[in-house]
Amino acid sequence: MSDKMLDLVARRFRTLGEPYRLRILQVLEEGDRSVGELVATLDGNQPNVSKHLQILFDAGLIGRRREGTTVFYAISDPMVFKLCALVCSSEAEKSRRDFEALAGKPGRSKR
């Protein structure tokens, strides 16, 4: 993989590396939402939500449509949920390993 591609991929990972943005995506998974709805749902302030939305939009993960003064955002790349599912299962697996290392072999240090 080229260095440029690596940078792009890393950038995409960083986009997803923010809990607040993951929460936004999670809400949007249920359906389109306006900025105001997201602000209310996530209990955040409007400029911050707008900025995160912009970042997700630039990354191509969400799309937007305008109705009057209201802007609705929606998932445009469902890949993100596959990613999250993968990471979640991997995370669960890691927890299991960590647990077994602690419970099963108490004398064996990690290091």
Partner DNA sequence: TGACTGTATGCTTCCATAGTGATACAGTCA
Partner DNA sequence: TGACTGTATCACTATGGAAGCATACAGTCA
**Site residues (CB under 8 A) for a copy of itself, limited to 58-97:** 60, 77, 79, 82-84, 86-91, 93-94, 97
Q: Does 47 bind DNA (CB under 7 A)?
A: yes
Window of 66-74, 76-84, 86-94, 97-105 that interacts with DNA by CB under 7 A: 66-74
Q: Which does 68 bind (CB under 5 to 8 A by kind): DNA, a copy of itself, none?
A: DNA
Q: Does 14 bind DNA (CB under 7 A)?
A: yes
Alpha-carbon Rg for the chain, nearest whole angstrom, is 18
Q: Per the structure block, which two tokens stand in for 35?
A: 């900025």
Q: Does 27 bind DNA (CB under 7 A)?
A: no
Q: Which residues pair with 75 in a beta bridge?
A: 62
Window of 8-16, 35-43, 46-54, 67-75 that interacts with a copy of itself by CB under 8 A: 8-16
Q: Which does 79 bind (CB under 5 to 8 A by kind): a copy of itself, DNA, none?
A: a copy of itself
What is the dihedral angle through the alpha carbons of 5, 7, 10, 16, rounded to the nearest 10 degrees? -100
* CA distance linking residue 17 with residue 76, whole number of Å: 18
Residue 111's H or E segment, with its range, is none
Runs of H (alpha helix) within the chain: 3-15, 19-29, 35-42, 46-58, 79-104
Q: Which does 65 bind (CB under 5 to 8 A by kind): a copy of itself, DNA, none?
A: none
